[in-house]
Amino acid sequence: MRLVRIVAGLTAVLAAALALPASASTLTLLGQSKKVCQLTGQTDWFSGHPTNALTTSRYGLIGIDLGFPVEGEKDQLYFLFGDANPNNHPPGAYPTVPPDDGLGVTMRTAEPNAADCLDLNFFSPGPGQLTHPVVTPAIQQGSFNVPTGGVFSGGRLYAFFWTNHCLLPDPVAPNAVTPLLRPTPPVGGFCPETDASNSIGRSVLAYSTPADPTAFKQVAPPVAVAYIPQMPSGFVYVSAADPPDQLIKQPAGPPIMGPAPDIPVFGVARYRAGIPYLAMAPRATFGAFKTWHFYGGTGPNGPIWLTYAQWQAGHIGNQWAPPPGAELYADSPNPYSLTGDERCVGEHSVTWSEALGVWLMTYTCGGLQVEARTAPKPWGPWSKPTILLSAVQNPGLYCTLFWNLPGQPCPGRVSQEPPALTFGYLYAPFVLTRYTKAEPGPSGPPAKAASVFWLLSTWDPYQVTVMHSTLEITP
C-alpha cells in the first residue's frame, strides 16, 4: 500500500507551468487514455461486474499493487506484484518482515479487452491461497518492501527487491547532492532511520528459475562491507529494460540477430523524489555489478561511461555523492509534483517501443498525473514530459478510477478502507510491451503512432488496472 503525500497547488494552470522548450522529437497523446479492465480484485470497482482474474475467490486476494511486467520464455509474461491485502502475516509479526508480495503470469498474446483482461493467474499452492515470492538469504519483504522491477535473461527471472524500508517513512524531499541522506527522525516518529529500517531503503538483486519462479536467491554482494548496499550506490528503487535484438558478429559467417549484449538498468535513489540513473549491465555477467558501466553525463564525444569503482568513489561512510551529470535529464517545473519540479520519480518503467522507434519512460509525478518521456537511446537525450493521464485535466477520473479527495466520497461506491483513507491517487504506470502495435497516425510519415497498453495502480481502490493510450511521435 502506498501512503499518499498531500499535493499542493492544484489550482495552478498546468499548461503554463509546463511551457517547456520543444525537444527534437515530440510525443503526443492522441485522444485520451482509457481504462480497459480492472486486473485485480473480485469485482470491478466502478462497474460492479466480476473481474476476469477473480482474485478473492481464487487466491484469497482482495487487493494488491504494482505488477511490473517481465517477459519470460515460451510466451510467459510475469508480473511482480507488491503488498497483498490481506497480507496474512503471522500474529505479532513486525509488518515489514514477512513476505507478502505476489507473482502473476499470463500466456496471453492477444491484446487485452474488457471481457478477458489479461487472463491473469497467480502462483498459488491451492484454492483461496497465494504463493508469496521469497528471497534467500532472507530480507524484509513485508509492507512497503516490494519487488520494483526485473528482466528475464539466461533462463533466469531477475528481480530487484526494495527492502529495509520503513512502514511509515518520514518525508523524503529531493536531494541531488547527497541522495542517500536519511531524514532526521522527528521526536516520537515512527521510522528509526537506522540501517535496518529507514525512509530510503536499499535494493537487492535476486533470481529464480522457471522450475520454481517464486523461489528467489540473492546474487552475492560485490563488497563485503555492512554499510554499502548490495546494489550500486543510488540504485535504490530499480527497474530493468529488455533491449531489442541486434546484429551480433560471429567468428565465421555473416552477423545474425540475437539478444543485445547489454541490459539497461535504471535506478532512483530517493523514492518519488529523484531522477533516474542508468547502468548498462553486460548480459553475460548481469549479477556482477563490478562489470556494469554507469552513465556519468554526456561529453563532446557522446555519453561518459564510468566503471563501478568510479561510480562508487563518492561513497564515504554511509553517504554518497553521485558523479556530476549522472541524472538522466534535468528537472523542470511541475506544480502538481510534491516538490514543484520533476524530481518526482518512484515507480517507473522504461521499455523499447519498436512501433515508435524510441525508448519510452513512464512514471507518475505527484500522484495525480502519469507522464511519459522518450529517447533514442537509454541514456538519452530524453524529451520533456508528455502527460498521459491527469486527474487535474480530467476530473471525471474521480469516482471512476479512484476515490475523490478526503472527505468527498463517491456516491454509490463502497471502499475497502477506513474513511480517513478513502482518497485517490495514481502510481506505477508500467508499459506492456508485447501488446504495443503500430497504428496509422493523423500526421502520417515520418511521424509514427502506436497503440500502447499499460498497467496503473490506484489508491483507493487498492487495485491494478489495465489502461490504453494511442501515442504519436513526430521527429
Instruction: Measure Cα distances from 334 to 4, 69, 193, 432 in Å.
Output: 18, 28, 29, 27
Q: What is the 3-state secondary structure (H, E, C) of 248-314?
A: ECCCCCCCEEECCCEEEEEEECCCCCECCEEEEEEHHHCCCHHHCEEEEEEECCEEEEECHHHHHCC
Which residues have C-beta within 8 Å of that of residue 86, sequence separation ≥ 6? 60, 62
**Residue 276: what pLDDT?**
98
Point out the residues of the chain with pLDDT beneath 50. 1-23, 224-228
Q: Using CB atoms within 10 A of its CB, is residue 11 exposed (0-12), middle (13-18) or buried (19+)?
A: exposed
Q: What is the 3-state secondary structure (H, E, C) of 82-149?
A: EEEECCCCCCCCCCCCCCCCEEEEECCCCCCECCCECCCEECCCCCCCCCCCEEECCCCCCCCCCEEE
**What is the topology classification, in CATH, of domain 15-181+195-474?**
Tachylectin-2; Chain A (2.115.10)
Which residues have C-beta within 8 Å of that of residue 299, sequence separation ≥ 6? none
Domain ranges of the chain: 15-181+195-474
**Residue 65: what pLDDT?**
98
Angle value at C-alpha 355, between 426 and 431, nearest 5 degrees: 20
**Residue 250: what pLDDT?**
76
Instruction: Measure Cα distances from 60 to 321, 328, 352 in Å.
Output: 45, 41, 35
Question: What's the start-to-end Cα distance of the chain, in Å?
Answer: 39
Contact 120, 54 (CB under 8 A): no
Model confidence pLDDT, tens digit, residues 262-299: 999 999 999 999 999 999 999 999 999 999 999 999 99
As a whole number of Å, the CA-based R_g of the chain is 21
Helix (H) or strand (E) holding 170: none
Strand partners, 352: 359
The pTM of the full predicted model, rounded to 2 decimals, is: 0.92
Which residues have C-beta within 8 Å of that of residue 103, sequence separation ≥ 6? 78, 79, 80, 81, 122, 123, 131, 133, 213, 214
**Residue 414: what pLDDT?**
74
Neighbouring C-beta atoms of residue 412, cutoff 10 Å: 8
Q: Cα(265)–Cα(4) distance, rounded to whole angstroms?
A: 27
Q: Cell 498459488 identifies what position? A: 124
**Residue 418: what pLDDT?**
79
